[in-house]
Amino acid sequence: MKKFKFFLIITLLMSTTILSSCDMLMGDTHLMNKKLEKFVECINSNNAEEFKSLFSEETIKKYDSFDNDILTLFDFIDGEIISWEDKGGLGSSDGFNDDGSGLVWKEISAIYDIKTSNQTYHLALKVATKHSKDSRKIGVNSFHIINSKDWSEDFYYGGSMHTQDNFFAFGIIIDNEKTAKEIVEAIDKKRAEIFEDFPSM
């Protein structure tokens, strides 16, 4: 009887954990999809100010050209966006600040396809949803986009990873055929480094 009660308690705890994780995942998905919908509205209406307001203060301050980057993006997208698709690449990372204060941070990433009347684009987003030490870090950190014609890989476009100071670059990044090759090279290099850490079988 005691074994049965113990098994029942463990089962209930596991079920609660799984349900909690599912709720969190659904919440993250909903948040990212809402962000994307807002971006689509801004792009279709050429609302640069509203588009800018979705980004974190820290990201905006990193680039003197941020306002111009938005206009360049609007020009890059050919036609009105008529649909988008969540490609199922939701990811998140969280943790405690390095200063030992116990304060927490969280970042969510997602990938999408967006279609206009003329083109299809791959899009990668990163959003900081929590940063208890510095609220200026909360908001969209990265908006990376590429025309599907420039991405021929058999895996999904996940954004630019070819900067020296960040594995995933901040800001608005418009990739092309040339930078797509650099992204793939960076991924291959990272894979090689990972495999080097494991002894050969």
pLDDT by residue (tens digit) across 124-178?
Answer: 999 988 777 778 888 999 999 999 999 988 888 888 764 444 456 789 999 999 8
Quote the pLDDT of residue 43: 97
Quote the pLDDT of residue 198: 58
Which sequence spans correspond to the domains of the chain?
Answer: 2-196
Tell me how far apart the alpha carbons of residues 1 and 7 are, in angstroms, rounded to a whole number. 10
Tell me how far apart the alpha carbons of residues 92 and 196 are, in angstroms, rounded to a whole number. 26
* 67 Cα distance to chain centroid: 21
Answer whether 66's CB lies under 8 Å from 60's CB. Answer: yes
Neighbouring-strand partners of residue 142: 126, 171
Contacts of 107 (CB under 8 A, 6+ apart): 92, 93, 94, 126, 127, 128, 129, 141
CATH fold of 2-196 reads Nuclear Transport Factor 2; Chain: A, (3.10.450)
Task: Tell me the one-letter amino acid at 10.
Answer: I
Tell me how far apart the alpha carbons of residues 174 and 183 are, in angstroms, rounded to a whole number. 12
Ranges of residues in the chain with a pLDDT under 50 are: 2-25, 162-166
